[in-house]
Amino acid sequence: MTDRPDPPDLEHGLLTVEEVLGDASNLTVRVAVDGAGHAVYKPVSGERPLHDFPLGSLARREVAAYRVSALGGWDLVPRTVLRDGPLGPGALQQWVDRAPGEEDLPAGGLVAVVPPEELEPGWLPVVGARTEDGRPLLVVHADDPVLRSVTVLDAVLNNADRKASHLLRDASGRLWGIDHGLCLHEEDKLRTVFWGWAGDPLPEPELARLRRLRAALGGPADWEGLLTPAEHRALVERVDRLLADGRHPLPPRDRYPLPWPLW
């Protein structure tokens, strides 16, 4: 049996640009790290202006999302650091190789579009749609415990853009969440395609992760450079609210609850 290769040295490894990933909203670059591994590099200089997120803040939100995931024990976000790179400071995230054959499967096959009469046990409806000729369809996702963990983490992160394509499986079958630049705003912005558990009680393992995270959050000074004091306060309040309610959040009624596109 061969040993698994060591992860790349994201903090100090030499970065060499390999290619620009053209399907991303902001400049996203695949880099080699010391010629021994790969990472996704998102330079601050490549961020496009947004009407609801401060310019130049997305990289730090990517890193803060990784830290929240790790502190709570979800471990759903690939290791991510802030560092200087070939195009200036930015977020550097360990590359995840997709499982063979899953390159075109949104969320690793955990989301689908089906006619209502074909909804099977083990799948949860999210939203209805229609074909061009008027036939009804349902957007559904799997009743999967790891995906459920993703939804709890997204509620904590206040993820404003959880598309199906932002979830992928690696070669071992493990599910990962990527693209967390639109997270951790102080205002409520949760938008996700995974609303199937809305209002349901949170499972005990998720409550345990929330309690673990709450104990580790510290004060605003512990998040300096990643979150503003207002963003940190909002993060603490979201965790406290989830623990007090003990339920998955419901979709908002005063704004659109889904990302666009859905994947």
The predicted-structure confidence for 205-262, as pLDDT tens digits, reads as follows 999 999 999 999 999 999 999 999 999 999 999 999 999 999 999 999 999 999 998 8
Q: State the pLDDT at residue 4.
A: 52
Contacts with 31 (C-beta within 8 Å, 6 or more apart), sequence order: 15, 16, 17, 18, 38, 39, 40, 41, 85, 86, 92
Q: Where are the domains of the chain?
A: 15-100+143-245
Q: Name the β-bridge partners of 98.
A: 170
- Which range, 89-103, 105-119, 157-171, is most confident? 157-171
Rg (CA), the chain: 19
User: What is the pTM (predicted TM-score) of this model?
Assistant: 0.94
Q: For residue 70, what pLDDT band results from cuts at 50, 70 and 90? A: very high
Given this model, what pLDDT does residue 1 score?
A: 37
**CA-CA distance, 258 to 191, in Å (whole number)?**
5
pLDDT digits (tens, 9 = 90+) for 126-185: 999 888 888 999 999 999 999 999 999 999 999 999 999 999 999 899 999 999 999 999
User: 81-91 pLDDT, tens per residue?
Assistant: 999 999 999 99
Which phi and psi angles does 145 have, rounded to 5°? -65, -35
Instruction: Tokens 């079958």: give the residue.
Output: 173
- The residue-averaged pLDDT of 88-104 equals 89
